[in-house]
Chains A and B, each alone.
Chain A
Amino acid sequence: MSNDRVIIIVLGEGNYVNEGWTAIHTANYSQECTDITECIHNHISVKDGKITSSIDYDLVICRENYFVNDNVNNLLNNITAQNKVVAIHKNATEKTNYETFFRQQAIRVNLFSRYQDGSDKIWNNIKPVLECIVNHESCVINGYKDLFDNLWAVLAPSPVDEAHSLRAEILTPFVPFHLYYQIDNEKKEDGWKDILKSCCMEINKEDNGEVKSLGTKLDELLKLKTDLPENMKTAPLKAFYELKEYFMQDEDECIKTKDSSSRITKFADCLENVVNYVEFGDTSECL
């Protein structure tokens, strides 16, 4: 197979255009399969917006109830593409098992819902791709490739985009402290205490379900590039855990000394180097 990217979409059934697997199936196999429940086409391969039986495809659309047991393994074994990403409909009964399964294989799993009044970003990007497959001529206005790329960007953001987002999420709770230390005492009005307390809570937050701690986010950032030099990993980790230890104190204690201001700046510099390495391959060190 020549494609280096393959998207696997696990879709529930639905009769009308765009709503689900049945629409895609009917678009191509309505003559062959009169009884959908006995249908043998459990997954459908697509290449450049057209349903294909070739081994060269860029998209696989699976029926939700097919996505069980060995079927998943067999499917994945047949995909030799370097980059794979999976989007599973939230109603799929087996989804949770497969999330773990895919993650173990370093395949990114995304969940989506087609029942959320237009607010699901993933479904909003899957819809036009499905529409394009069902009514191929509509691709003339907005090519399948563009639609595929948009969907790919949502399902598997580039490491660079992820690096920038993670850096911002990690540093943001420290910024209010950095500002507070610089303000003249007589101008430190009411309200700051609440802000700083919220920051302390954010900095010390533990992993909880889908909510990730700053430490976990930092680990994710440092893993975005497998060849990240060792010193580029250790320096931000050291800076972060020093800061975290400092901000484990009560917020009243945290605001007593301005020392952490320079530590925050240093930590930001370390992360700047990591992000630059992810984006440009720069190797400047965090001192």
Chain B
Amino acid sequence: MSVASECKIYENNGILRNAIDKAILSLNLTAKNIIFINISYHEDRNLNVLYSGMKHIMTLRGEGKDSSPVTFYGFEDISRLQNKPEASILNSPAVKYIKMPFEIDQLKEICSKLRPVNKRNRLLDEETKKLLTEDKDKEVQLQIRGFVHAWRNGVTYLTALLNKLSEYQSDSLAVQESINELIKYRADFISVKCASYNGIQDFVEQKFKRGKKITALPKMMQACKKSYTTMYNRLEKVLKGKGAVSALISALQKTIDNLKEVEDLLNECIKK
């Protein structure tokens, strides 16, 4: 984002950003807080970039983070652009569009018509509000899937190590290797996974409310954290030569059992 002209410019191409900045500066606009944004501006390269600039403003306004008037620019013709679902934001208050390459006078005229939106609940048109709600829903669903995946991976990793530990004599080289491998999972291996649940808890409980047990998840995760901490302490003792491998194995087994209990509940809810 560039602010030399006291306007905010969202443009990924550095050369174009500087040029637009200087062009705006030459206009001596009375309104200083206008956002100029390419319809394809993107902060994250994983995003679909064609209309991500419009999505960016949808999010900013949807979250009430910025109510500044907006001038979008892009190479598309407005009549074509307006027919695309992503372009509903163009119907929101204090939003204009200009097609590149544009006449500077035309830009000045557009900007002179932009007025700030005073009421926060009027930042978006109805269609865009609806789109935003749908997007949020999809995003949380992806987060849930990511959480379930991370949890399953935890079970898989620890189970693989438990199998190795259980298979050989405690003083064997294979067991030593497994113990060394186990230490790579940091002390917060499980607590990090549990923390990521906080962001989706409300949505999960609401979505899977028919599976009433879902509300027990946080408590079950606490048990996972506790058993993992115990296991990790025993691991450190074994590494210092002060603990028995058998105690470590039993703590690892307990941790996996607790993790699996959470996994089963998640699976049960997801299937419903």
Contacts and interface: CB of A to CB of B under 8 A. Distances in A.
B212 interface: no
Given A141-B141, A142-B141, A191-B18, A18 B153 contact: yes
B142 A142 contact: yes
Contacts of B49: 165
Interface residues of B, number: 40
B101 A268 contact: yes
Interface stretch (A74-82, A107-115, A170-178, A219-227): A170-178
B15 A199 contact: yes
A132 to B, nearest CB: 9
A264 interface: yes
Interface in B229-272: 267, 270-271
Contact of B75 (A15, A121, A142, A268): A268
Size band of the A side of the interface?
A: 35 or more
Contact of A18 (B23, B80, B149, B267): B149
Interface stretch (A40-48, A56-64, A83-91, A179-187): A179-187
Contacts of B100: 171, 175, 268
Given A161-B50, A175-B16, A138 B22 contact: no
Interface in B17-72: 18-20, 22-23, 25-26, 40, 45-46, 48-50
Given A16-B156, A18-B153, A175-B101, A168 B22 contact: no
A126 to B, nearest CB: 13
Given A138-B149, A142-B142, A189 B22 contact: yes
B26 A164 contact: no
Contact of B48 (A153, A180, A264): A153
Contact of A179 (B19, B80, B156, B271): B19
Contacts of B23: 179, 182-183
A145 to B, nearest CB: 14
A147 to B, nearest CB: 9
Contacts of A188: 26
B19 A176 contact: yes
A13 interface: no
B101 A264 contact: yes
B101 A171 contact: yes
Contact of A17 (B142, B156, B271): B156
A46 B40 CA distance: 35
Interface in A121-168: 121, 124, 128, 131, 135, 137-138, 140-142, 153, 161, 164-165, 167-168
A175 B103 CA distance: 11
Interface string B88-124: 0000000000001101110000000000000000000
Closest 4 A-B residue pairs measured CB to CB? Answer: A176-B19, A178-B101, A187-B26, A179-B23
